[in-house]
Amino acid sequence: MSETTTTVRLHPWNTGFTWVDRTGPFRALGADQVAQFDEQGYVVVTDLLDATTVERVRAEVDRYEQRIAEHLASLEGGRIAIAEDGAITFTTHLVARSDLLRELSRHPRIVGICADLIGADVNLYWDQAVYKKPEKPRRFPWHQDNGYAFVEPQQYLTVWVALTDATRDNGCPVVAPGFHRLGTLAHTYVDPLGWECLHDPEGAVAAEVPAGGAVVFSSLTPHLTGPNTTDAVRKAYILQYAPTGATVLRGDSHAGDAASREPCAAPDRQYPVLVGGEPVPGR
């Protein structure tokens, strides 16, 4: 991050934030990987899932995503919010409907990464598939995940699992290292693309990752995905994890303090994966 050349504004609710480095011991990541995560806000894990698991997960997600794609195609204008027919789809809360994906959310390597980067008590916060289509190539703006819903603690975790090879050409994540240490930034809505917090930051890195790998980044790491200029769909499944007890702040951030806090505790999709450092078995 170049603080002298890139102007940023903090989110109005981001007061007194301090990034907390992890000190170990570590279960799933090497000390060098954790150091990169703390310094740059992300790390690429190229071999998170084996090929058989990737194939099973991709087939499962495809079934649910097809319904979303068909619904978008049936609508006048072909869009709901930032989802658009032929451009990008978001298929959310699949762990509440799929035993396979619920099991994946508790995968030992993923839970080990959570222990390394979050701590001993961790809940699943969010899950969604994001399919970037080739028919309408476009970027997805620079944003932080905590810019869409303000979660406290702000420092939670995104595991961006590649179900197909993610490359520069088909819209792999591109990250802006260093900004995560500032906490949540102010975002502006860019119609019809979504919320944006930066414009062309220096030092951006394309995080290419093969199918079965993952880009692991902070909820505070600004990132985008570029246009898919290939002839195939780029497929990703995203799992997000937060410290147990996390809350979402609601209200108009420009009007003062949050109007309310909601616990992240929906039992069908926001359940414990680590308690006291021990993995929680599935149902």
Each residue's pLDDT tens digit, 85-117: 999 999 999 999 999 999 999 999 999 999 999
Mean pLDDT of 218-247: 97
Following CA atoms 92, 95, 96, 99 in sequence, which dihedral angle do they give, to the nearest 10 degrees? 140
Confidence band of 222 (pLDDT split at 50, 70, 90):
very high
Each residue's pLDDT tens digit, 153-186: 999 999 999 999 999 999 999 999 999 999 999 9
Confidence band of 3 (pLDDT split at 50, 70, 90):
very low
Confidence band of 200 (pLDDT split at 50, 70, 90):
confident
For residue 162, list its beta bridge partners: 236
Q: What is the pLDDT of residue 6?
A: 66
pLDDT surpasses 60 at 209: yes
| Average pLDDT along the chain | 94
Q: Report all structural domains of the chain as residue ranges with CATH numbers, in order of start.
A: 37-250 (2.60.120.620)
Tell me the whole-structure pTM to 2 decimals. Answer: 0.95
Q: What is the pLDDT of residue 252?
A: 85
Confidence band of 283 (pLDDT split at 50, 70, 90):
low
Handedness of CA 265, 269, 272, 273 (dihedral sign): negative
Q: Could you tell me which residue, 140 or 159, shows the higher pLDDT?
A: 159
Through-space distance between the first and last CA atoms of the chain, rounded to whole angstroms:
43
Q: What is the pLDDT of residue 259?
A: 86
- The whole-angstrom distance between residue 43's C-alpha and the CA centroid of its chain comes to 13
Q: What is the pLDDT of residue 172?
A: 97
Percent of the chain with pLDDT over 90: 83
Q: Which are the contacts of 191, defined by CB distance < 8 A and separation ≥ 6?
A: none
pLDDT surpasses 80 at 193: no
Mean pLDDT of 228-250: 97
Q: What is the pLDDT of residue 4?
A: 35
pLDDT surpasses 90 at 188: no
C-alpha span between 172 and 158 (Å, rounded): 15
Nearest alpha-carbon partner for 34 in 115, 95, 123: 115
Mean pLDDT of 241-266: 92
